[in-house]
Amino acid sequence: MTLMLLDSASLWYRAYYGMPDTLVSPEGEPINAIRGFIDMTARLIDMYKPDRIVACIEGDWRPTWRTELFPDYKANRIDEDGDEEEPDLLSPQIPILLDLLDAFRIPVVGVDDYEADDVMATYALREKGPIRVVTGDRDLFQLVDDKKDIAIVYLAKGLSNHDLVRRDYIEKKYEIPGDRYALFAMIRGDASDGLPGIKGIGEKGAAAIANVFSSMEEVLAAAHDDSDTRLSAAHRKKLLADLEYAEIAPKLVHCALDVAVPDIDLGLPKAPKSLDDIYAISHRYGLGSPIDRLISALKW
């Protein structure tokens, strides 16, 4: 009973940049993200054969409770109007994608004041495994749990060359215990989210600390204890100099696990009595074979 959680925005951005912008509808509208997203979804269902699926979206890509803690959170992505920067040709495709997901009866879930990551994390915690989280975002490596069989379908190298991230992948790539990615990320930082990490420590230092400690609370306790030799003098000095950020980093970096997600049927959708609505959208935008592939993947 595999549950597949789709990081929808990650997928449609990847589709947009991975498909030529010469793909247009009969009316000349851009459809590259739509075609790519639907095709990826079909291929993922074929590969992993989930019994349950949720397309997770942003209720808020900069939740107030995160920006109140750290005003620069994702500030690097803000346009002149204070909105999230999106390519001009992507924005008009998103409502069509959401209409298609609705037509296919694939559950779409976003919750006000939470990011898609938080929604996926909450579902991963409350639902039975196996669980496959599909994303191009390494932040979600913190969800990996071999015992519960939660793995990340990581699309950084594309779907055809993707990695299935389990704890051994994290251990090999970052040379840290596989369950300590979140701590490692707190210290290292993440430029894509505007998170600086602990100034002056960097990736190697973050890995060294994560090999010794299991939480930021433990790290800071050691930083305040001059007799604790597990922490180098240089790392202790840098942590204490950046104490204000270190104290809020856990809440910034950890996914929320208690989002009030709706209690809905997550089962793979059954075939409707008629595919007329789906084919109407397909013909309107010239979507063709990706729509047929998704219908086939769902075994309709």
- DSSP 3-state of 116: helix
Q: Is the Cα dihedral 131, 132, 134, 138 positive or negative? A: positive
- DSSP 3-state of 173: helix
Q: Would you state the pLDDT for residue 225?
A: 97
Q: Would you state the pLDDT for residue 75?
A: 87
pLDDT tens per residue across span 204-222:
999 999 999 999 999 999 9
Which CATH fold would you assign to the domain 181-253? Answer: DNA polymerase; domain 1 (1.10.150)
Q: With contact defined as beta carbons under 8 Å apart, do 108 and 98 qualify?
A: yes
pLDDT tens per residue across span 54-84:
999 999 989 999 999 999 899 888 766 566 6
Q: Would you state the pLDDT for residue 85?
A: 67
- DSSP 3-state of 35: helix
Judge whether 3-175+262-297 and 181-253 match in fold: no
Run of H or E including 153: strand 150-154
- With both helix axes pointing from N to C terminus, report the angle between 181-188 and 167-174 in degrees, rounded to the nearest 10: 40
How far is it, in rounded angstroms, from Cα 266 to Cα 128? 12
Q: What is the CATH number of domain 3-175+262-297?
A: 3.40.50.1010
pTM higher than the cut 0.85: yes
**Each residue's pLDDT expressed in tens, for the chain with a length of 300 residues:** 899 999 999 999 999 999 999 999 999 999 999 999 999 999 999 999 999 999 999 999 899 999 999 998 998 887 665 666 677 899 999 999 999 999 999 999 999 999 999 999 999 999 999 999 999 999 999 999 999 999 999 999 999 999 999 999 999 999 999 999 999 999 999 988 999 999 999 999 999 999 999 999 999 999 999 999 999 999 999 999 999 999 999 999 999 999 999 999 999 999 999 999 999 999 999 999 999 999 999 999
Tokens 């490596």 appear where?
141
The domain locations on the chain are 3-175+262-297, 181-253
Q: Would you state the pLDDT for residue 153?
A: 98
Q: With contact defined as beta carbons under 8 Å apart, do 50 and 298 qualify?
A: no
Calculate the CA 77 to chain-centre distance. 16
- DSSP 3-state of 190: strand
Mean pLDDT of the chain: 95
Phi, psi values for residue 223, rounded to 5°: -65, -35
